[in-house]
């Protein structure tokens, strides 16, 4: 039986940013009920054709969301648990699944277990909950002891995921979020730092909670198959493709993208064939795609590739309107507060959201895009065409990164006599066994064909 997460397109929300939350959390302040402001976004997300939302971080935290204070409470800057329960119910009523951040590699300094160690030192029952606790050294915070932390950030203290008590605590957290909110999956923060045995046990536990519960991991470098497999995670972030999608356009080098896809998903030797990775062109940690591209006309072909190459496409909130954001010291520029109606009325790039909605519609109406095999049909530095093929049906994607209009002759993956431009609905005859089309500068098109 197929699972929802094998074909879904995702919408990614960093809620502390979108809701305009204060950068520092005052745990004595009243709860700020901003999550209800996201309910109107759900119709927009559904209109884009997204069937999943990745929203996070949500755990009560001290600042940016990844320095957890309380795993069972929604951050008071966003609202309370009832607010998020309503959000999930509203999403589910629209056929949208909800995936949340699982920040299990580390906690913040205000987490109860770390505070107990600070008070009770060697006598704390939680001294083994963290990695590298050493009472003969000191920390940059002058705690009177030292400890391991994520990338030496002393406010992100690494949990000891080999400790049975820690594992049981976190697995109970997962059970709580499923029972309390009915979430559909977890995106594992810093998955490339997590203990493999921890993830294997988590996969087994989550499978018992919900048959179609999805586990996706943040992995930047390395062999993705080490994490995405039948024993651990269903998917991981495809940073390799992310890099190619923008640099392949900036450098006028479609060979880079095509090589990445061959290496990863070729039917006769792709190292990730049979796996479905999580694809994106930007997120809350990297510069916006509209900032990275030298030519804003390339936003159209970039998104056409994102949606039709192998993988699960993800749109980061605001990028469907072409907003910009450069990664600097701190990530505030990547995580802005946005007003939905303002964005609709004054998009930075008119027509982009509508094109992305078209791509989402194509994925829903033509399952071959997400399930079909990949076949390369045409490749030059500046033009690229490929097909997703399954059971006598194919959708052909053609893109052009040139500054000028391009004339393309695209070979067919099988014999047919006509093809349909999915954006215009126009049906055209095949010429000399090929699709003959013209693409505008920075153009992209999807064509549907059936085998004769």
**How far apart, in whole angstroms, are the C-alpha atoms of residue 71 and residue 418?**
56
Domain boundary among 369, 400, 435: 369
pLDDT string in tens for the chain (452-residue length): 789 999 999 999 999 999 999 999 998 899 999 999 999 999 999 999 999 999 999 999 999 999 999 999 999 999 999 999 999 999 999 999 999 999 999 999 999 999 999 999 999 999 999 999 999 999 999 999 999 999 999 999 999 999 999 999 999 999 999 999 999 999 999 999 999 999 999 999 999 999 999 999 999 999 999 999 999 999 999 999 999 999 999 999 999 999 999 999 998 889 999 999 999 999 999 999 999 999 999 999 999 999 999 999 999 999 999 999 999 877 999 999 999 999 999 999 999 999 999 999 999 999 999 999 999 999 999 999 999 999 999 999 999 999 999 999 999 999 999 999 999 999 999 999 999 999 999 999 999 999 98
pLDDT tens-digit readout, 123-133? 999 999 999 99
Asked whether residue 195 falls in the same domain as residue 184, the answer is: yes
Asked whether residue 365 falls in the same domain as residue 399, the answer is: no
How would you class 235 by CB atoms within 10 Å of its CB: exposed for 0-12, middle for 13-18, buried for 19 or more?
A: buried
Asked whether residue 74 falls in the same domain as residue 204, the answer is: yes
Asked whether residue 406 falls in the same domain as residue 328, the answer is: no
Asked whether residue 77 falls in the same domain as residue 216, the answer is: yes
Q: Which residues contact 127 (CB under 8 A, 6 or more apart)?
A: 117, 121, 133
Torsion of CA 92, 95, 97, 98, to 10 degrees: -40
In terms of residue numbers, what domain contains 118?
4-369
Asked whether residue 295 falls in the same domain as residue 425, the answer is: no
Asked whether residue 213 falls in the same domain as residue 246, the answer is: yes
**How far apart, in whole angstroms, are the C-alpha atoms of residue 184 and residue 95?**
12
Closest to 399 in 3D by CA, of 336, 307, 326: 307
Asked whether residue 355 falls in the same domain as residue 378, the answer is: no
Asked whether residue 131 falls in the same domain as residue 263, the answer is: yes
Domain boundary among 369, 388, 421: 369
Question: Residue 183 is part of a domain; what is its CATH number?
Answer: 3.20.20.80
Domain boundary among 350, 369, 388: 369
Asked whether residue 322 falls in the same domain as residue 377, the answer is: no
Question: Residue 380 is part of a domain; what is its CATH number?
Answer: 2.60.40.1180
Asked whether residue 137 falls in the same domain as residue 110, the answer is: yes
First to last CA, the chain: 29
* Average pLDDT value over all residues in the chain: 97
Asked whether residue 173 falls in the same domain as residue 315, the answer is: yes
Contact 445, 407 (CB under 8 A): no
Domain count for the chain, please give it.
Answer: 2
């Amino acid at each position: 039986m197929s699972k929802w997460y094998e074909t879904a397109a995702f919408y990614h929300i960093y809620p502390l940013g979108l809701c305009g939350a204060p950068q520092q959390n005052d745990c004595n302040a009243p709860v700020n009920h901003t999550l209800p402001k996201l309910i109107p976004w759900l119709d927009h997300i559904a209109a884009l054709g997204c069937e999943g939302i990745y929203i996070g971080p949500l755990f009560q935290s001290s600042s940016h969301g990844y320095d957890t204070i309380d795993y069972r409470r929604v951050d008071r800057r966003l609202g309370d648990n009832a607010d998020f329960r309503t959000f999930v119910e509203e999403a589910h009523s629209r056929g949208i699944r909800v995936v949340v951040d699982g920040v299990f590699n580390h906690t913040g300094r205000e987490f109860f277990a770390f505070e107990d160690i600070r008070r009770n030192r060697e006598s704390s029952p939680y001294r083994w909950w963290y990695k590298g606790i050493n009472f003969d050294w000191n920390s940059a915070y002058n705690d009177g002891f030292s400890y391991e932390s994520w990338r030496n950030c002393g406010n992100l203290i690494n949990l000891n995921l080999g400790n049975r008590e820690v594992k049981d605590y976190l697995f109970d957290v997962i059970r709580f979020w499923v029972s309390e909110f009915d979430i559909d999956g977890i995106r594992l923060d810093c998955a490339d730092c997590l203990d493999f045995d921890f993830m294997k046990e988590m996969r087994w536990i989550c499978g018992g909670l919900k048959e179609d519960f999805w586990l996706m991991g943040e992995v930047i470098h390395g062999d993705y198959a080490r994490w995405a497999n039948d024993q651990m995670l269903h998917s991981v972030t495809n940073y390799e493709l992310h890099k190619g999608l923008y640099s392949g356009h900036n450098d006028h080098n479609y060979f880079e993208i095509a090589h990445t896809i061959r290496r990863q998903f070729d039917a006769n030797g792709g190292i990730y064939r049979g796996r479905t990775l999580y694809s994106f062109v930007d997120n809350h940690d990297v510069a916006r795609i509209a900032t990275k591209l030298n030519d804003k006309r390339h936003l159209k072909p970039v998104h056409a590739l994102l949606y039709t190459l192998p993988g699960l496409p993800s749109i980061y909130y605001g990028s469907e309107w072409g907003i910009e954001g450069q990664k600097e010291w701190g990530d505030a520029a990547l995580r802005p507060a946005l007003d939905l109606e303002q964005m609709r009325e004054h998009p930075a790039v008119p027509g982009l959201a509508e094109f992305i909605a078209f791509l989402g519609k194509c994925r829903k109406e033509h399952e071959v895009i997400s399930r079909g095999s990949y076949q390369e049909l045409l490749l030059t530095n500046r033009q690229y065409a490929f097909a997703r093929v399954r059971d006598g049906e194919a959708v052909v994607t053609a893109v052009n990164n040139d500054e000028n209009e391009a004339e393309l002759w695209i070979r067919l993956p099988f014999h047919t006599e006509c093809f349909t431009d999915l954006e215009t609905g126009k049906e055209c005859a095949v010429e000399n066994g090929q699709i003959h089309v013209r693409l505008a500068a920075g153009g992209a098109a999807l064509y549907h064909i059936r085998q004769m």
